[in-house]
Amino acid sequence: MSVETFTVTGMTCGHCVASVTSEVSKLDGVTKVDVDLASGSVTVESDSPVDPGAFALAVDEAGFAVVK
């Protein structure tokens, strides 16, 4: 199992959190997504490490951006 934390910018409310959670949850092997709205940190649990490019695309799909 793999646990990684990314930082996502632009989220302002629970709806944003739900959008990001929904898109990131669709990624291959992802078993849990935990978003902290205040800090923008997104913790992803998955069977194998998440591809950062795929993660960035999913976040973009939700309307936000990953902080490098």
Q: Does 16 bind Cu ion (CB under 5 A)?
A: yes
The token duo for 30 is 């992802």
Q: Does 12 bind Cu ion (CB under 5 A)?
A: yes
Q: Are 43 and 55 in contact (CB under 8 A)?
A: no
Our measurement of the distance from residue 11's CA atom to the centroid of its chain's CA atoms, rounded to an integer in Å, reads 11
For residue 3, list its beta bridge partners. 45
What is the C-alpha to C-alpha distance for residues 66 and 68, in angstroms, rounded to an integer?
6
Q: Does 13 bind Cu ion (CB under 5 A)?
A: yes
Q: 3 or 67, CB closer to Cu ion?
A: 67
Interface with Cu ion (CB under 5 A), residue total 4
Stretch that binds Cu ion, among 4-12, 38-46, 50-58, 60-68 (CB under 5 A): 4-12
* Contact set with Cu ion (CB under 5 A): 12-13, 15-16
